[in-house]
């Protein structure tokens, strides 16, 4: 075959593949779509996805089913989707736990977050707030740092978390490192038992989502010293950001995003991302499922989500190393 003929054949083949992908996207979906949630029904991720699915079903004119596969720090759900067909009909609604943290927390995983998934969109983010008991002598974050530094060699202060190796632990480990503090980590089994301990003054500080502690801050039982975000939270507008205070941000943010099995056609990824992001930005959805929980709408493209996860994996790897935690 002559060189020009060879090029023509390759070009025709490429156009055929592109055309097939576009046709698949136009007809997608032609059967029910399943979104796997790696938590039990009723939690924040489940509630958000169950708010999204009816709108997707209406857009696609096909049922969109939520499948709960809880357990093992999102591993069970992530592994199920990683081994599913790459056809766009099985998606994973995950957080940094499955997508950027587990690979550093476990020596062995049944899935590879970098090789087994392809990104669709980062839907929402929930900034975490650094808070202390109402009777804490610290009224600002810099005052807290000064007090903690003074006590580092005599009676180290404590910080609590909703679980070792989680989003409420690793940013605090980074915080103590950044500020040269010695503090004692006290892990709890969730936020519910942690909050009363901070209110009672048994724990000196913690970080949790805005929506989780908002009511306690407004009731005056907790003091919020800083929010880990680019801008102030609409729910707690009087609480400054780390950057405003001149303190290095600890990137304490909880994210919910959609990914698909590796090999899913890019045209399908783009379509799912466009449709999901359009829903997330509608005033009705935003009011009911985003603003009500103090989320921040993101609605990224697949490429933007891919870049975000690459950056976050580096951050999480550094945090895990600093904390010394392992969940094996």
Please give the Cα distance from 123 to 299 (Å, whole number). Answer: 5
**CA nearest 66: which of 95, 96, 32?**
32
- Determine the pLDDT at residue 7: 65
Domains 3-124+255-323 and 127-227 share a fold: yes
Alpha carbon 176 to its chain's center: 22
Please give the Cα distance from 247 to 50 (Å, whole number). Answer: 37
Residue with tokens 């708010």: 51
pLDDT, one tens digit per residue, over 263-274 is: 999 999 999 999
- Determine the pLDDT at residue 15: 56
**CA nearest 127: which of 230, 43, 280?**
230
Please give the Cα distance from 276 to 281 (Å, whole number). Answer: 9
| Angle (nearest 5°) at CA 153 between 147 and 157 | 50
Average pLDDT rounded to a whole number, residues 303-307: 98
If pLDDT is split at 50, 70 and 90, which confidence band does 316 have? very high
pLDDT, one tens digit per residue, over 129-188 is: 999 999 999 999 999 999 999 999 999 999 999 999 999 999 999 999 999 999 999 999
What CATH class does 3-124+255-323 carry?
A: alpha beta
Instruction: Say which residues have a Cβ less than 8 Å from residue 287's Cβ, sequence separation at least 6.
Output: none
- Determine the pLDDT at residue 137: 98
Contact yes or no for 105/250 (Cβ under 8 A): no
If pLDDT is split at 50, 70 and 90, which confidence band does 74 have? very high
Instruction: Say which residues have a Cβ less than 8 Å from residue 285's Cβ, sequence separation at least 6.
Output: 51, 52, 55, 279
Average pLDDT rounded to a whole number, residues 108-113: 97
The domain spans of the chain are 3-124+255-323, 127-227
- Determine the pLDDT at residue 26: 85
Parallel/antiparallel/unpaired status of strands 117-133 and 206-209: antiparallel
Residue 11 sits at φ, ψ, to 5 deg, of -65, -40
Average pLDDT rounded to a whole number, residues 278-295: 96
- Determine the pLDDT at residue 14: 52
Instruction: Say which residues have a Cβ less than 8 Å from residue 1's Cβ, sequence separation at least 6.
Output: 9
Residue with tokens 């995983």: 109
Instruction: Say which residues have a Cβ less than 8 Å from residue 254's Cβ, sequence separation at least 6.
Output: 95, 96, 125, 126, 128, 167, 209
Parallel/antiparallel/unpaired status of strands 64-68 and 222-227: unpaired
- Determine the pLDDT at residue 35: 98
pLDDT, one tens digit per residue, over 222-248 is: 999 999 999 999 999 999 999 999 999
- Averaged pLDDT score across all residues of the chain: 94
Parallel/antiparallel/unpaired status of strands 157-161 and 183-187: parallel
Q: Does position 17 have pLDDT exceeding 60, yes or no?
A: no
If pLDDT is split at 50, 70 and 90, which confidence band does 25 have? confident
What CATH class does 127-227 carry?
A: alpha beta
């Amino acid at each position: 075959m002559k060189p020009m003929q060879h090029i023509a054949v390759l070009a025709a083949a490429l156009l055929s593949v592109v055309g097939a992908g576009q046709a698949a996207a136009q007809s997608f979906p032609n059967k029910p779509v399943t979104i796997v949630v790696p938590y039990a029904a009723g939690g924040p991720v489940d509630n958000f996805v169950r708010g999204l699915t009816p709108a997707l079903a209406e857009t696609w004119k096909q049922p969109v089913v939520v499948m709960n596969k809880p357990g093992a720090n999102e591993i069970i759900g992530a592994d199920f989707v990683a081994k599913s067909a790459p056809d766009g009909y099985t998606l994973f609604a995950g957080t940094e736990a499955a997508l950027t943290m587990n690979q550093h927390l476990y020596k062995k995983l049944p899935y590879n977050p970098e090789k087994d998934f392809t990104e669709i969109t980062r839907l929402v983010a929930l900034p975490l707030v650094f808070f202390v008991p109402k009777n804490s002598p610290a009224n600002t974050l810099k005052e807290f740092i000064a007090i903690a530094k003074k006590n580092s060699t005599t009676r180290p202060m404590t910080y609590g978390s909703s679980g070792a190796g989680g989003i409420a632990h690793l940013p605090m480990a980074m915080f103590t490192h950044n500020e040269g503090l010695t503090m004692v980590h006290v892990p709890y089994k969730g936020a519910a038992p942690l909050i009363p301990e901070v209110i009672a003054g048994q724990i000196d500080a913690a970080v949790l989502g805005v929506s989780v502690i908002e009511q306690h801050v407004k009731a005056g039982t907790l003091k919020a010293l800083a929010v880990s975000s680019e801008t102030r939270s609409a729910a707690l507008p009087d609480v400054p950001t780390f950057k405003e205070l001149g303190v290095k941000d600890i990137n304490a943010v909880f994210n919910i995003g959609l990914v698909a099995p590796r090999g899913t056609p890019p045209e399908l990824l783009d379509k799912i991302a466009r449709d999901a992001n359009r829903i997330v930005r509608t005033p009705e959805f935003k009011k009911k499922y985003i603003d009500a929980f103090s989320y921040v709408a993101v609605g990224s493209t697949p490429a933007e989500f891919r870049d975000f996860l690459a950056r976050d994996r580096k951050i999480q790897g550094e945090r895990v190393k600093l904390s010394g935690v392992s969940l094996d």
